[in-house]
Structure 1
Amino acid sequence: MTATPVSAHYDIRQPDAHVIRDDAEAIAIAHRVAALLREGASERDRSRQVPADVVDAFSNSGLWGITVPKQYGGAQVSFATLAEVIAIISAADPSLGQIPQNHYCLLEDIRLQGSEEQKRFFFDLVLAGHRFANALSETGGKNVKEIQTRIVPHADGYRIDGRKGYCTGSLYAHWLGVLALDAQDRSQLAFVRRDTPGLVIVDDWDNIGQRTTSSGTVLAQELIVPAFNLFPTYRSYETPTLAGPFAQLTTAAIDAGIGRAALDDAITFIREQARPWIDAGVEQASQDPLTIVQIGALEIRQEAAEALLERAGKVLDRASLAPDEDSVAQASVAVAKAKVLTTEAAIEASNRLFELGGTRSTQVRHNLDRHWRNARVHTLHDPVRWKYHLVGNWALNGAKPQRHDWN
Structure 2
Amino acid sequence: MTVIPRIDPATAPRVNSSASFTARPKPVTPAQVIADDAGAIAAAEQLAPLFAADAALRDREGLLPIAELDAYSQSGLWGINIPKAYGGAEVSYATLGKVIEIISAADPSIGQITQNHLVLSVHLALDGTEAQKRELFDLVLKGYRFGNAFSELHSKNVVAFETIIRFEGDDAIVNGRKFYTTGALFAHIVPIISVTTEGEGYIAFADREAPGLTVTNDWSSFGQRTTASGSVTIENVRVPRSRVIPIKVFDRPTAAGAISQFIQAAVDTGIGAGAIRDAIDFVRSTSRAWIDSGKDKASEDPFTIQAIGELEIGLHAAQALVERAGRLIDAALADPTEEKVNAATVATAEAKVLSTRIALEASNRLFELAGTRATLAEHNLDRHWRNGRVHTLHDPARWKPYHIGNFYLNGASAPRHPWS
Short-chain TM bin: over 0.9
Deviations 1:140-187 (A, max 9, x none): 012111111100122451111100000001111000010001132021
Bigger shift: 367-376 or 311-320? 311-320
User: Given that residues 164 and 196 in structure 2 are in contact (C-alpha distance below 8 angstroms), is that contact kept between their aligned partners in structure 1?
Assistant: yes
Instruction: Report the equivalent of 1:348.
Output: 361
Unaligned runs of 5+ in 1: none
Candidates 213, 216, 222, aligned match of 2:230: 216
Deviations 1:272-313 (A, max 9, x none): 111122111111111111111111101100110001100110
Instruction: Report the equivalent of 1:169.
Output: 183
User: Given that residues 80 and 91 in structure 2 are in contact (C-alpha distance below 8 angstroms), is that contact kept between their aligned partners in structure 1?
Assistant: yes
Matched, 1:370 2:380: no
Q: How far apart, CA to CA, are the structure 1 residues paired with 2:307 and 2:105?
A: 21
Q: How far apart, CA to CA, are the structure 2 residues paired with 1:114 and 1:48?
A: 37
Structure 2 SS opposite 1:99 = helix
Aligned amino acid, residue 42 of structure 1: A
The alignment's TM-score, normalised by the length of structure 1, stands at: 0.97
Instruction: Report the equivalent of 1:12.
Output: 25
1:109-124 → structure 2 map (5 Å cutoff): 109-124=123-138
Give the share of equivalent positions with the same residue, in percent: 51
Matched, 1:42 2:56: yes
Offset, 1:396: 0.9
Matched, 1:227 2:241: yes
1:125-136 → structure 2 map (5 Å cutoff): 125-136=139-150
Q: How far apart, CA to CA, are the structure 1 residues paired with 2:223 and 2:370?
A: 21
1:284-363 → structure 2 map (5 Å cutoff): 284-363=297-376
User: Given that residues 23 and 208 in structure 2 are in contact (C-alpha distance below 8 angstroms), is that contact kept between their aligned partners in structure 1?
Assistant: no
Deviations 1:214-257 (A, max 9, x none): 11100100111111010001x10110000100101111000010
Q: How far apart, CA to CA, are the structure 1 residues paired with 2:398 and 2:146?
A: 31
User: Given that residues 269 and 319 in structure 2 are in contact (C-alpha distance below 8 angstroms), is that contact kept between their aligned partners in structure 1?
Assistant: yes
Structure 2 SS opposite 1:151 = strand
The alignment of Structure 1 onto Structure 2 pairs a total of residues equal to 402
Bigger shift: 9-18 or 87-96? 9-18
Deviations 1:378-403 (A, max 9, x none): 00000110001111111111110111
The alignment's TM-score, normalised by the length of structure 2, stands at: 0.94
User: Given that residues 7 and 201 in structure 1 are in contact (C-alpha distance below 8 angstroms), is that contact kept between their aligned partners in structure 2?
Assistant: no
Instruction: Report the equivalent of 2:7.
Output: none
Unaligned runs of 5+ in 2: 1-17
Offset, 1:15: 4.5
Q: How far apart, CA to CA, are the structure 2 residues paired with 1:10 and 1:281?
A: 59
Aligned amino acid, residue 325 of structure 1: E
Structure 2 SS opposite 1:200 = strand
Q: How far apart, CA to CA, are the structure 1 residues paired with 2:99 and 2:277?
A: 18
Q: How far apart, CA to CA, are the structure 1 residues paired with 2:104 and 2:207?
A: 27
Q: How far apart, CA to CA, are the structure 2 residues paired with 1:157 and 1:7?
A: 28
Q: Which runs of 4+ in 1 moved over 6 A?
A: none
Structure 2 SS opposite 1:146 = coil
Instruction: Report the equivalent of 2:288.
Output: 275
Aligned amino acid, residue 376 of structure 1: R
